[in-house]
Amino acid sequence: MESSAVQTQIDLRKPVSFIHQTSDGPVHLVVRASKAGWMALFWDRKEAEAWTFRTMAEANQSVLLHFREVYLAHRCSAGCGPVDVVALHKSDDVWGMIRE
């Protein structure tokens, strides 16, 4: 993957957990371990997507690539950043993507 401002802020040695603030509102990127492997979760106000992968690296790459495809013109601002607490994703989870 080519480098970008976003990738320099995301530690790919651990599962992605990131919120982008876009003109469409917040966009959530989450990678979590599951019984089937690793889940890559993506949602915003218009759509929600989930994919399962064998490895964390594949899930991280997929969710980041999907974000870049959907929000090609996005440039990160101070409002974009990693999220260490799942509860911060839940507050904006209208699709029910986070289940605990």
> Residue 12: its pLDDT value, please?
80
> Domain containing 48: what range?
5-90
Q: Within a 10 A sphere around the Cβ of 91, how many other Cβ atoms?
A: 8
Task: Give the pLDDT band (50/70/90) at residue 100.
Answer: low
Residue 77 is assigned to a structural domain of this protein: yes
The DSSP bridge partners found for residue 51 are: 40
pLDDT over 90 (residue 93)? no
pTM of structure: 0.83
Give residue-wise pLDDT tens across range 49-83: 999 999 999 999 999 999 999 999 999 998 899 98
Residue 98 is assigned to a structural domain of this protein: no
Task: Give the pLDDT band (50/70/90) at residue 1.
Answer: very low
Residue 97 is assigned to a structural domain of this protein: no
Task: Domain count for the chain, please give it.
Answer: 1
Residue 100 is assigned to a structural domain of this protein: no
For 27-71, what is the HEC assignment?
Answer: EEEEEEEECCEEEEEEECCCCEEEEEECCHHHHHHHHHHHHHHHC
Give residue-wise pLDDT tens across range 7-55: 446 778 899 999 999 999 999 999 999 999 999 999 999 999 999 999 9
In the chain, the amino acid numbered 67 is F
